[in-house]
């Protein structure tokens, strides 16, 4: 096997993976991912025991147990760029030998479950105690095309359908469609609405918002909301899911996003008290995760 160079598998002075500041064995094989660093502590407060607390930059990690199951929660910060770092380094903790700097022969498949917030793109989706599981992640960030395996793990028919139906501007990053883990969708999402989640490379212009700068194409959000594929609608906007599904598919992990819908872009509704519904979602996901 090829030895991975020091500038590629980056370890800090303590021998820990660089951005996560963690060593192998410090995270569980089932990992909850949250964007907000403060939300990691909210999840950990549900744990029965906590064996590890770690913090570096926007990445807070807690490892412990819930109803006898060893779990970790890791905050990622916002965006597909952060997801790429976090998922790559989590995989390295399990599947690269830090001493030989070579991939392990026996690989470990992780369960990566994102609990996030999102804005709805269909008027019939409520914003109070409303939870949505991403059956697909549709990336508008272009990350897939930087990886050799990206075009081979994406849903090419879905991707082509979206590009053609929206007459996608060739000056924008090329979209890519990724499917959620069927296993996690079945185990963790009963009773939740399911749909296609658009993953944007930003919060303002990429999601059609204007402050002092104008959006190049003001019709993308509305046109995307009318797109359907495989019986699923484009239901919501956020900034992480496509990268999570992409990296997980290439690395052999199971991945699912479940979002708390806190705003509706069509009706203009917003839930200012969404932290209560988020805590309930966390509790429900933990109950279900404990059974897998």
Q: What is the pLDDT of residues 85-105, one digit of tens each?
A: 999 999 999 999 999 999 999
- Please check whether residue 257 is in contact with residue 241, taking contact to mean a CB–CB distance below 8 angstroms: yes
Domain boundaries, the chain: 30-289
pLDDT of residue 141: 96
Q: Rounded CA gap, 192 and 178, in Å? A: 19
What is the Cα–Cα distance from 208 to 168, expressed in whole angstroms? 15
Task: Say yes or no to pLDDT of 31 above 80.
Answer: yes
pLDDT for res 216: 92
**What values do phi and psi take at 10, rounded to 5?**
-90, 120
* CB within 8 Å of 231: residues ≥ 6 apart: none
Instruction: Please write the tens of the pLDDT for every residue from 102-122.
Output: 999 999 999 999 999 999 999
The pLDDT of residue 1 is: 65
Amino acid 173: pLDDT: 95
Band of the pLDDT at 273, cuts 50, 70, 90? confident
Residue 2 has pLDDT above 90, yes or no: no
Element (H, E) at 95: helix 80-95
Global pTM reads: 0.97
Largest CA-CA distance found in the chain, in angstroms, rounded: 55
Helix (H, G, I), strand (E, B) or coil at 52: strand
pLDDT score recorded for residue 76: 98
| 8-state DSSP, 172 | S
> Model confidence over 130-165: pLDDT tens digits?
999 999 999 999 999 999 999 999 999 999 999 999
Neighbouring C-alpha atoms within 13 Å toward the C-beta of 95: 15
The Cβ of residue 269 has, within 10 Å, a number of other Cβ atoms equal to: 17
Q: What is the pLDDT of residues 220-249, one digit of tens each?
A: 888 999 998 888 899 999 999 999 999 999
Q: Which of 83, 72, 122 is nearest to 239 (CA)?
A: 83
**Third-level CATH fold of 30-289:** Rossmann fold (3.40.50)
């Amino acid at each position: 096997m090829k030895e991975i160079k020091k500038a590629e598998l980056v370890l800090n002075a303590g021998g820990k993976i660089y951005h996560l500041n963690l060593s192998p064995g410090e995270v569980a094989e089932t990992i909850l991912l949250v964007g907000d660093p403060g939300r990691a502590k909210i999840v950990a407060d549900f744990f029965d025991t906590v064996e590890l607390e770690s913090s570096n930059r926007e990445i807070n990690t807690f490892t412990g147990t819930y109803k006898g199951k060893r779990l970790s929660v890791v905050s990622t910060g916002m965006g597909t760029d952060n997801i790429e770092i976090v998922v790559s380094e989590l995989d390295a903790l399990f599947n690269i030998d830090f001493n030989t700097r070579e991939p392990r022969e026996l690989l470990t498949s992780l369960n990566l479950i994102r609990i996030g917030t999102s804005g709805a793109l269909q008027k019939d989706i409520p914003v109070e105690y409303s939870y949505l599981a991403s059956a697909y992640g549709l990336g508008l960030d272009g990350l897939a095309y930087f990886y050799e395996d990206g075009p081979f793990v994406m849903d090419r028919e879905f991707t082509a359908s979206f590009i053609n139906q929206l007459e996608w501007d060739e000056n924008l990053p090329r979209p890519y469609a990724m499917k959620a883990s069927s296993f996690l969708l079945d185990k963790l999402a009963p009773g939740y609405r399911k749909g296609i989640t658009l993953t944007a490379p930003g919060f303002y212009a990429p999601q059609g918002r204007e402050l002092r700068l104008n959006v190049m194409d003001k019709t993308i959000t509305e046109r995307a909301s009318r797109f359907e594929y495989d019986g699923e609608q484009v239901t919501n906007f956020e900034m992480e899911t496509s990268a999570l599904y992409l990296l997980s598919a290439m690395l052999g992990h199971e991945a699912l996003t479940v979002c708390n819908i806190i705003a509706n872009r069509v009706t203009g509704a917003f839930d200012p008290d969404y932290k209560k519904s988020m805590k309930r979602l966390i509790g429900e996901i933990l109950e279900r995760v404990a059974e897998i």
